[in-house]
Structure 1
Amino acid sequence: MKGKIADGEARERLTIWIRRRMLEFGITFDALETSIQEDLAHPPLYRDARGHDWNGVGPMPDWLTAARHAGLDPDFFRIEEPKEGPQHKRGVVYRQADLFE
């Protein structure tokens, strides 16, 4: 396993890197926790193929504004709530795939 980083070592390096960036940008654990709680309270309502998302709070982001000006309905990007379960048709299961979660 020469030349490869073990999972534990990779995790440790990542933790050190994250802590340094937090110090560099003045991010506290309280601010991080508040941000996470805010994200959980306002989940995204719109998402494009590149993974940009918007929760409907605040001004419309540039990617969605550009799509609207190009003639696309913003509802095209609306994330659908899962229905009762996967839909079945002739033995095939149809469901909305979300590659960014």
Structure 2
Amino acid sequence: MMGKIADGEARDRLILWMRRRMEEFGITLEALSASIEHDKAHSPRYRDARGHEWNGLGDMPDWLVAANNAGVSPDFFRIETAQDALIPLEKQATTTRSIDSRQLDLFDTA
């Protein structure tokens, strides 16, 4: 195990590094906690293939504006909610949203 860091030591180093970065940028534990709670209360509603997310609040992000300007409906990026999961797939297309079939080839990698 020479040259390797044990899991416990790696964890301790990571915590020390995070504390130093928080101090460097003036981030308090209270601010971090409030940010986490805000994120929990406002889960993302849209996500693209690169992992960009938007919760629908505030201005539409650049990645979604660009897709919209290219003719791709924002609904194409909508994340399925727990309520959507309860609706049978055959009814989802008619009750929740419709996807323009012309958009599907934009993301075909074959």
TM over 0.5, yes or no?
Answer: yes
In the alignment, which residue of structure 2 is the partner of 1:27?
27
In the alignment, which residue of structure 2 is the partner of 1:94?
none
Structure with more strand by fraction:
1
> Normalization by structure 2: what TM-score?
0.74
Between Structure 1 and Structure 2, how many residues are aligned?
Answer: 87
In the alignment, which residue of structure 2 is the partner of 1:80?
80
In the alignment, which residue of structure 1 is the partner of 2:6?
6
Report the CA distance between 1:84 and its aligned residue. Answer: 3.6
Identity of paired residues, percent?
66
Q: Which amino acid aligns with 1:21?
A: R
Q: Deviations over 1:33-88 (max 9, x none)?
A: 11011001100000111111000010000111111111110011000124149x8x
In the alignment, which residue of structure 2 is the partner of 1:44?
44
Following the alignment from structure 1 to structure 2, what is the Cα–Cα distance between the partners of residues 50 and 24?
29
**Stretches of structure 2 lacking an aligned partner (at least 5 in a row):** 90-110
Q: Deviations over 1:15-42 (max 9, x none)?
A: 0111011001000000001101100110
**Greater radius of gyration (CA):** 2
Following the alignment from structure 1 to structure 2, what is the Cα–Cα distance between the partners of residues 52 and 10?
29
In the alignment, which residue of structure 1 is the partner of 2:68?
68
* CA RMSD after TM alignment: 1.8
Following the alignment from structure 1 to structure 2, what is the Cα–Cα distance between the partners of residues 40 and 65?
24
> Normalization by structure 1: what TM-score?
0.80
- Deviation >4 Å, runs of 4+: none
- 1:51 is paired with a residue of what secondary structure? coil
Following the alignment from structure 1 to structure 2, what is the Cα–Cα distance between the partners of residues 84 and 72?
26
